[in-house]
A and B are shown apart, each in its own frame.
Chain A
Amino acid sequence: MIAYKFLRSGRTGPFSGFQWPEPGEWVHANRHMAACRRGIHACRIIDLPWWLADELWEIELDGRVQVDEHKVFAPAGRLRAQIERWTPACAQEYADACAWRAHERAMQALARAGHTSAAGELAACKTLDDVLLLARDLAEATPDTEISLTIARDGAFRALTGAPPTAAYIAAHAAMRLDGPAAYAAERSWQSRWLAEQLGLSTHG
């Protein structure tokens, strides 16, 4: 199976600290226990938003591939090629996109609560700095939508401070706040589609 794997800079496992060998060299979980307690972990495209890190690699898994929550794992794997399009600039674009999604949710919250003028003001924001400032003011002026506005503000702040996984997490919570757990899942799906499209990932993952 071909899947994807996020690593820290230098092909380092984010949690295990395992130093992955050169692409093409097989890693067997039973011989490299530091790689993972239960096998070689990897992502399908739908799992990507949960595991963002510095480097993204295409990985080939071998043996019985098992599916777990937000991941797959197998007894063996080898890196194939780094996904070159996953760069700090791309990660920042992703964070910005997620922050704007949280902004949209706040606009919807305002509109649903009847604050059409405030929703219009928020819609007119041109930058995430604008969102950051206006969401704070609107949260004070419209206490019944305070949480959605605070979430939008947090999303903008985390995008502006360069935290893509956090901005994505916040966007998912913005959706959940408004429309429940199904919206959270839908937002995560949107994020994985965004990543797949921008990074040119094939759906075999």
Chain B
Amino acid sequence: MHNPGSRHDGHPASDFSVAADEVTCQQFVELVTDYFEDALPPRALSHVEEHLVMCDWCLTYVEQMQATVDSLRKLKDRSSREPSDSLLATLRAKKAAGE
């Protein structure tokens, strides 16, 4: 209940500034790696998703992170490819020529 003698307009913010079932932006940032790795326990995952519904800043952050992860994955795929036949032929020719 409101305390008329309080200096505040209700309860002190520290009492319940965030509902028990809510994730703050700061907590979200701490959980984001587990979120991407699908490693969050169900309850935490639910709270993270609820947060993403109403926080467009964190949603943007997730989208940027996802774009980064996707780019790195493509880069990794590209770097792990076998060298092309033409490159191998050039290298063999140079080796044969003693270069």
A73 nearest CB across to chain B (Å): 10
Asked if B46 contacts A178 (CB within 8 A), the reply is no
Indicate if A70 sits at the interface (CB-CB under 8 A): yes
**29 sampled A-B residue pairs with Cβ under 8 A:** A14-B49, A15-B49, A50-B50, A50-B53, A51-B50, A51-B53, A53-B53, A68-B42, A70-B21, A109-B9, A109-B10, A110-B9, A144-B8, A146-B9, A147-B10, A163-B54, A165-B53, A165-B54, A166-B54, A166-B56, A176-B19, A177-B9, A178-B2, A178-B10, A179-B2, A180-B15, A180-B16, A181-B16, A181-B20
Residues of B within 8 A of A (CB): 1-2, 4, 7-11, 13, 15-16, 19-21, 38, 42-43, 45-46, 49-50, 52-56
Indicate if A157 sits at the interface (CB-CB under 8 A): no
A52 nearest CB across to chain B (Å): 6
Indicate if A84 sits at the interface (CB-CB under 8 A): no
Residues of A contacting B53 with CB < 8 Å? 14, 50-53, 165
A153 nearest CB across to chain B (Å): 14
Residue of A nearest to B18 (CB): A173
Residues of A contacting B42 with CB < 8 Å? 37-38, 68
A49 nearest CB across to chain B (Å): 9
Alpha-carbon separation in the docked complex, A1 to B39 (Å):
30
Residues of A contacting B4 with CB < 8 Å? 112
If A70-B46, A112-B2 touch, whether A144 touches B54 (CB-CB below 8 Å) is no
B54 nearest CB across to chain A (Å): 4
Residues of B contacting A181 with CB < 8 Å? 16, 19-20
Residue of A nearest to B59 (CB): A14
B12 nearest CB across to chain A (Å): 10
Residues of A within 8 A of B (CB): 14-15, 37-38, 50-53, 68-71, 109-110, 112-113, 144-148, 163, 165-166, 168-169, 172, 176-181, 184
Asked if A147 contacts B50 (CB within 8 A), the reply is no
Residues of B contacting A112 with CB < 8 Å? 2, 4, 9
Which of B7, B43, B49 counts the most A-chain CB atoms under 10 A from its CB? B49
